[in-house]
Amino acid sequence: MSSPNPSTYHFGVDLSDAVLREVSFLKEIDKHRALYGGPLLKQAIFRYEKLWLPFAAKYENQILAAPLDISWVWHCHMLAPRCYVKDCLNICGVIVDHSLTPTCDGDTVQRYWREAYPDHPYHVDVSQETTYIDVTSFVSKLGYNLEDAASRQKVFYYQVSLPHYQDTKFIESAIGRYRKFLELKQCYPTSFIVPCYDVDVVWHAHQVHPVTYKKDTEVLLSEHFNHDDSVNDRSPGSRLNVSDAETRVIWREKYGENFASYGAMFRGLPPNGKLHKMPQEEMFRQCSKQVSIVIQQVLVSNESVAKKTRSLEFDAILKSGIVLNLLKMKKPAIGRGMWNTDTHSQEQRELEFDTGMCEKLTVALYKKGLFGNVGPKNIVGKASLDILRLINNCKALHVTETQTVEPTLGNTNIRLDLNLRIVKLGDIPYTFDPGTYEECIMPEFLEDLWGPVPLTRLPEGQDNKCNVASHRLRTANGSVEFTVRTIHSLPCLMSVVHVFHHDKLSVVCHLIGPDTLPHPDQVTTDTKSTLTPSKGERAVVIKNNDGDWAVLTGYWTGIRKGIPGRPGMRGIPGSPGHLKLNMYKIATGKWTSISYSTSDFSFSVDGVHVDMQRNLIECSAAEGDVPENLGLALSILLLHVLCQPRPSNWEAGQSLTPATKSTRGGRAIRHLAVEDYGLMLAMGLLVTTPCNHYLRHRFMGERNHGCYVAGGDGTVSGPSDDVHHDDVTDGAHDFGEDQNAIWEEALAGDNTDFEGADNDTAGDGDPGGCGGCGGCGGGGGWGDGGGGWGGGGGDGDGGGGGDGGGGFWGGDFGGGGFDSGGGGDGGGCGGGGCGGCGG
C-alpha cells in the first residue's frame, strides 16, 4: 500500500500552534543561557535522566508539565527521535510522551513531585550557575550526549528569533514547505536533505510531540524519520555543503521552484557574549547631570569673621562666561556664622545646577559693610567647588549622598555639610572626528577582525579587498570615549560599522538582506521587519552583547521632476527625494518610523540626536544604551550612503555635486549638499561601497542560468552524484557567496538622473514598482511568477524595453528564471516585468 501524500495528510498535532509555542519556549530558554552548558546543564541532565523520566513514566496517560531546566534537556533529547525512543524504552519500558500543551498542569505535577522526591525541589534557580547537588561525578547512561546537543541547540533560537517566525502567515507557508520537505523524503529516501530554517522550526515543533511524530512519519515514510543536528561543518566539500547543494537541485526538479526562501536562511552565529557591555557607571560618568544640593549646615571657623558675617552666596559660572546667582543665604538671627536646618527652610538652603551648562560652582562669604547690613557688602573670600568630585559618589538617580567640604575663604575656613542628589540625567554630546579611508585586505574568515558578522567565504585565491576608516567620538572635554570603524567590502557585498568603547568592541552594525528578512507579502503585517528589494530597500541589524538590538530598514523615495511654470499655470517644484526609515526594536517589539530631514540634515530617534551641520551626535543617558544608539545613528547615515541615487556614470571619488548649476524654468535645481558633512563622508559617501548604484551597475544584464545559490560556500550548477544518507540535518541553508541573484533586483529604482537632483523619468512609479522607472510591467505581484513586482509599463528610463524580464530574484526564486518575462535591454524595467518570485 502506498504512503499518503504529505501535502494532504492530517498531522496528529496542530503544527501552527506548535510552532508559536516552540519559538516562545526557545525564547524563554535563551534568557537563561547557563542552560546551554556548564554545571547547571549537567544538573538538569541528572534531574531529567534519574528523576524525571522514571517519574513521568508512572503517569503514562498524562503529559506532565516539567520545570524549565528539565524541559530544556527533554527538548534536546526529543530532537534525536530514534535515540529518544530507545532510551525511554531502556529506562522506563515506555515512550514518555511530551507536548507543548501538557494535559497535567504545573501545580498538580508539583504535588506529585513532592511526594516522589521530597529532597529535590521541583523548580531550580536557572538564573544562576550554582547547583543544589554535586553532579561532578555523574555520568549519563543515555545513548545520546545531551551536553553536546544542548550546546549545539543554543545557535538555533537565533536563527528563528526575528518576529516573522511568530507571524501566522509565515508559519502557514513554512508548514506547506514542511509538507513538501516530507514529500521530497518520500521520493528520495536515501538522500541527506538539508532544510531551511522555516522548515526546520516546523520540524522541531513536530518532533517534540514524540509519540505523534513517530506515528506520523512511519505512516508517511514507512520509518521513524530521524533528525541529526550534529552536522555543522559548512566548509567546501563537507557533508553539509554537498548535501545542501543536492537538496536545492532535487527540490527544484520536484517542485519547479527554488528551496531558498526569504527570511529563512542561516543568519550566522549569535553575538551573545562576544561583545563588550559598556558599564553603567561609565555612561553615568560621561553624561551631564542636573544636581540638587541641600545645605544641611554651614560653620565659619573664625569667630571674629562669623560675628560680622552678612551672607553666604553660591554662583554658577556658565560655559558662556555668564555668572548666575543660584542661592543667597543671609546670616541667621541666632548663632554666630551658622546656617542649619533650624535657621533656614529647605527652600532657603537648596540650589540646583546642570553640569552640562555650568563651568564652575563658586561659594563666597560676605561680611557687613560700614553701615552693617545696609549698603555695600564686603567680600571675605571666594572659592571654587569641584563639581565633578562633589557628585562623584552619586552613582544613581535620586539617591542622596552626603558630602563635607571645607573651602578657604580669605582668612577663614568654612565647613559645608551637603546632601547631593542627581535629579535628572542629561545628554552626552559627542563631536565626530572623521578619519580617512584606506584600502586593505580583511580575510572574511577572521572573526577577530569583523566581530559577529556572517560573511560568505570567497573563492580560494580571491582577496577580500575592503575600504576601511577609523573615526573618533570626543566628549565635551575633548577625551576620546568611542572609536568607530567603517568597513565596505565589495567581494562580500557587506558594509559594517563597529563601535568601540575605548579599545573594546561594543556594538556591531552590518547589512542584512532577504536571506534574513521576509518580503511584506509573506507576513500578515509589514511591521514584522520586512524587506522589499525591488524598491532598493536596504537593511542593517544592530547587535550588542545580548544579541540583536534593532533592525533598521530604509529606502529612497519622493523623487519628483520639477515642471517649469508657464502663463496661467504655476510650476511644480522638483524634489531630490529623501530616505524613508523604519526601525524595529527587538527588546520592546515596537516599530518606529524615523523622521529624517534633508533640509538641515538632522534627526532624532529614541535616545539619540544627530546634527550633521555641527558634526555632533548626542546620546541620552536617561535612555541608556549609549553605544547602541551611536550605532543606530551611524547606521541611519550608512543607509543614506547606500540608498541615495547617483548619476548613472558616477564613479568612486567623484563629487556628487554638479560642476555647473542646473536650472529649470529659470530657477536653480536644488541639490543635496551631502558632501558638506563629515559624517556622510565618514560613512563612505564618495568611496566604493556596495551601494544601490554599485549593485545596479554591477549586476545589470548579468544572468545566471542553471545556477543555484549554494549553502555556505559556492555556486552549484548540478547535483552531486555521491551523496546518499538516511538522516536529515538541521536548517543549514544560507544564500552563499553567489549573491548576484540576491542583490541584482535591489537597485531597480536607482535610475535617477542626479544631474539636477530630480528624476527625469516617471516619478516614483507604482506602489511596489521600481521607484521611478515606470513600473515593472506585466501582470501580478510578488509570487505570481512572470508578472513582476508592479503593474503597468510606463515610459521607463530609456523607452521601456525592460530588463530582460526575469527580474532580480527570478533566477533563484522565480519559476520562470531570468528571461521569463520577455522584453529586451531597452533601459528601464518597464515592458517585460521583473519576473516575480513565484511559480
The pLDDT confidence band at residue 621, using thresholds 50, 70 and 90, is: confident
Question: pLDDT tens, 270-329?
Answer: 999 999 999 988 888 888 888 888 888 888 888 778 878 888 899 988 888 888 888 888
What lies within 8 Å, CB to CB, of 763 at 6+ separation is: 559, 560, 561, 772
CB 315 within 8 A of CB 326: yes
CB 234 within 8 A of CB 455: no
Neighbours of 264 (CB within 10 A): 31
Q: What CA–CA distance (Å, rounded) separates 140 from 138?
A: 6
Reading the block at residue 625, the C-alpha cell is 544604551
The pLDDT confidence band at residue 388, using thresholds 50, 70 and 90, is: confident
Task: Indicate whether 518 pLDDT > 90.
Answer: yes
Q: What CA–CA distance (Å, rounded) separates 306 from 288?
A: 36
More confident residue, 669 or 172: 172
CB 595 within 8 A of CB 606: no
| pLDDT value for 81 | 97
| pLDDT value for 120 | 97
More confident residue, 189 or 829: 189
The pLDDT confidence band at residue 429, using thresholds 50, 70 and 90, is: very high
Tell whether pTM > 0.85. Answer: no
Helices (H) and strands (E) in the chain — how many of each?
Answer: 21, 27
The pLDDT confidence band at residue 45, using thresholds 50, 70 and 90, is: very high
| pLDDT value for 670 | 61
Give the pLDDT mean for 610-639.
93
CB 759 within 8 A of CB 559: yes
| pLDDT value for 770 | 30
Give the pLDDT mean for 66-81.
98
DSSP 366: E
Look up the CATH number of domain 288-425: 2.60.40.150
Reading the block at residue 331, the C-alpha cell is 546670616
Domain boundaries, the chain: 15-255, 288-425, 429-565+572-682, 761-839
The DSSP H or E segment spanning 591 is strand 590-594
